[in-house]
Structures are given as C-alpha cells and as structure tokens.
Amino acid sequence: MHDVDPSHCPVCGEANDCAMATAAAPGRAVRDCWCTAIEIAPERLALVPEAARARACMCRRCAGADEVTP
C-alpha cells in the first residue's frame, strides 16, 4: 500500500498538471483542469488503480489528450 499523490499520474508517475491538485496551493486561483475539457476513454480510466480513483488525475498522455486532434 502506498500513498496516492494527487499531483502525479497514478498510471505512469509523471506530473499530471492537474488543476485540482495545484489549486490546493495557497494563493492559487481554482481553474478548470484540462481533464474537464476532454473525454477520457473508459479503457484508459481502467488503467488507474482502484486506490487512486477520484484522488489523482491521470496525466495528459495517459488520458490520451495528446492523441486528440483538434
């Protein structure tokens, strides 16, 4: 059992650039996270360990955000 770090991707361990996590720092305005702007495929969400669900966001790469063409 290990701690869930909300600022890092639970899948690959890279910084996830999640607004929900960074907004928790004092003096920072809450902004919408990039992850609210994209749809994450169910098969990608399935990669997130049970313990990390609803705690840590995935990073853009694991969520597939970089594969979406505008």
Binding site for Zn ion (CB under 5 A): 9, 11-12, 59, 62
Contacts 24+ apart (CB under 8 A), 34-37: 34/60, 34/65, 35/63, 35/65
Rounded least distance, CB 20 to Zn ion, Å: 15
Closer residue to Zn ion (CB): 19 or 59: 59
Rounded least distance, CB 25 to Zn ion, Å: 21
Closer residue to Zn ion (CB): 29 or 54: 54
Q: What pairs with residue 15 in β-bridges?
A: 8
